Structure 1
Amino acid sequence: MPSYTTADLAERVKGELKGRADLGIEGVGALKDASERQITFITDQTHAGLWARSRAAAAVITDGLDASGHDPNARALIVVPSASLAIIELLQLFAPPPLLPDAGVHPTAWVHPDASIGQDVRIGPHVSVDRGASIGDRVVLYAGVCIYAEAHVGDDSILHSNTVIRERCHLGQRVITHQNVSIGADGFGFEPAPDGSGLLHVPQIGNVELCDDVEIGAASCIDRAKFGTTVIGAGTKIDNLVQIAHNCRIGSSCVIAALSGLAGSVTVGDGVSIGGAVAVSPHVTIGSGVSVGACSGVMRDISPGQTCLGTPATEAREALRQAAALKRLPGWMREVSRRLDSD
């Protein structure tokens, strides 16, 4: 287990050390649970007020917060511009080494003779790589990954167990998919049969492209386009259990939280934040820099830079005014009834 002094860690995160420099730190823990050999982090005043009761030896704290009760003779604070960013550095420092599949191709994996396999790959048990597929250098495929024909996985990508990459889909470099991700399943396209006999399946002949540095959470699904390409832009991060329908185009550096669903042909700009359990109607455009609050329903276009809440999603201040008015409605109704009864 690695061990560092508080002076080492302060230098590592370029922070100002307030307190002891010689404390040995062996890991990272939550403020309430950390031990005497761990460091924690404090990002707001509420948690700063709990510092005196924590057992942690040290804390990384955002500048400007008041950690009342701090004893510099016993513990240490490392003051940084952003504790949320500094803790990333420390988590990387204390992270255990990744447990990767063995180098090479596992004996139970199947690789088609016409597939292309890069250098220094790690292909785990029961992986399938079909004809014409290409796997870049240093790619890691955990057990049960299935790569369909003519799909491409870019250099340094990591696909966790039971990920499925369907035919002709393209993954850029350093893409990460967590377990049970589906890339390129048919879009949900059906039309009523003219004779009323049922539903006709609309062929989905496009594909999916995940650009560089995209990360997809467990059990999320990104459907292939009806025609053309469903695109997830560079650096975008998608949480668990998210549905992205056919022909969506998601910009770069977006975050989409769990249980959200985007219907077909939605366009999302760059740097958009979509909270958990958000539903987006078909053909809607969400402008760059937009934030959509959790459990909202987006039914019409949102201009760049807005923060929206509710169903239908409305500019945040207006949505809060509506919520406040709704909360007062029962009282207003009682007052109206009282006045009517008095007339």
Structure 2
Amino acid sequence: MTEYTPQTVAELLEGRLVGDPDLAITGLAEISTAKPGDLTFVGESGYAPRWGTSQASVAIVTEGIELEPGEGRALVFVENADLAMARVLDAIAPEPAKPEPGIHATAVVHDTAELGEDVTVGAYCVIGPGVKVGARTVLHNHVTLLDDVRLGEDCVMWPNVVIRERCKVGSRCIFEPGCIIGADGFGYRPDMTGERPRIVKIPHLGNVEIGDEVELGACVTIDRGKFDATTIGQGTKIDNKVQIGHNCKIGQMVVMSGCSAVAGSVKIGDGTLVGGAVIFRDHVTVGRGCKIAGGAGISGDIPDGEEWLGYNASNAKEAIRELMAIKKLPKLLKDFKALKQRVDRSEVSD
């Protein structure tokens, strides 16, 4: 970090520099907690007033926000400060943890498995028959790839990821620790024909197919389809502890926050944003470009581009009107009681 200055940051981001170009940048911080020498960012106009009281020396600022650097400080104006900060973080981040190159002595790799060039296999990994792993992919310790799995190039599988038989994963994917891909779907039927009732497990013959550049948070679970594939589209990002049920079709560039649960056969369109702890009933279809607020319960189909919130969730505008009406109820009841008392008194006097 000591080698970075406003000038080098501006060159990295191809931004417009205003202020002292030679300040030493020694750290990064949020605008409210920054110290002298820190680089921060201002992505929205609502944060601009905080620059005046912040101790940060340098800020990356979205173009169009009116700010002056002040004495002994600097601003770097860019098209999008949030994306620019991501580029800075990527440039200065230390190398992530990585097993020693090659195949660890404790790993179990089947003779028929095919590993691409420069694949790294950590301690106690298990790679089953017929598995194919693309070039430069990294398997951290205790990763399990069962029979006939396909895993693309430049992927990172963190410890204790399990990819079950016949599942397919694209290139440049990152799965955080504990992800389980391709477990049997939750499919059972009651059988009352025998001597005693029993619950019969429905076999799941499908798989899971995941596109390129998908990232899964820790402990994400995605169940295999009953007949066909459960699919996750290219570029989708799924947060920690999300459950995707069997036969689901999750589109491209979907972003889903933590602890959401998606029941079987749900379809979610491209570019939809899902808040945390959202519950989807089975066989629901969500259109493209939708926004679903955290904690919502989705029990019906959502058209393209709509914003929904609430439990059971409904159209956002309608839900807000209903909530505002509910807040007015105490006053309305008070007014109603007063009006009723006046009517009662009037009737008595008559």
Partner of 2:31: 31
Distance in 1 of aligned mates of 2:79 and 2:173: 30
How far is 1:26 from its partner?
3.5
- Secondary structure of 1:77's aligned partner: strand
Partner of 1:170: 168
Partner of 1:148: 146
1:156-305 correspondence runs (5 A)? 156-195=154-193, 197-305=197-305
What is the TM-score of this pair, normalised by structure 2? 0.93
Choose 9-18 or 216-225, whichever is displaced more.
9-18
How far is 1:13 from its partner?
1.3
Distance in 1 of aligned mates of 2:145 and 2:341: 73
Q: Which amino acid aligns with 1:290?
A: C
Q: Is the 8 A contact 1:289 1:306 kept in 2?
A: yes
What is the TM-score of this pair, normalised by structure 1? 0.95
Which 4+ runs in 1 deviate beyond 3 A? 337-342
Q: Is the 8 A contact 1:52 1:67 kept in 2?
A: no
Q: Is the 8 A contact 2:2 2:24 kept in 1?
A: no
Choose 194-203 or 51-60, whichever is displaced more.
194-203
**Structure 2, unpaired ranges of 5+:** 345-350
How far is 1:339 from its partner?
3.3
Instruction: Give the number of the structure whose alpha-carbon radius of gyration is greater.
Output: 2
**Structure 1, unpaired ranges of 5+:** none
Q: Is the 8 A contact 1:268 1:285 kept in 2?
A: yes
Q: Which amino acid aligns with 1:106?
A: H
Q: Is the 8 A contact 2:236 2:253 kept in 1?
A: yes
Q: Is the 8 A contact 1:49 1:66 kept in 2?
A: no
Distance in 1 of aligned mates of 2:181 and 2:326: 42
Distance in 1 of aligned mates of 2:242 and 2:52: 40
Alpha-carbon displacement from aligned partner over 1:244-275 (angstroms, at most 9, x marks no partner): 00000011111011111111000111111111
Q: Is the 8 A contact 1:204 1:224 kept in 2?
A: yes
Q: Which amino acid aligns with 1:226?
A: K
Partner of 1:132: 130
Distance in 1 of aligned mates of 2:35 and 2:89: 16
Partner of 1:100: 98
Choose 169-178 or 190-199, whichever is displaced more.
190-199
Q: CA RMSD in A?
A: 1.5
Distance in 1 of aligned mates of 2:333 and 2:66: 46
Alpha-carbon displacement from aligned partner over 1:147-201 (angstroms, at most 9, x marks no partner): 1111111111110000000011111111110000010011111111224613111
Partner of 2:309: 309
Distance in 2 of aligned mates of 1:35 and 1:264: 49
Equivalences, count:
341
Distance in 1 of aligned mates of 2:67 and 2:184: 54
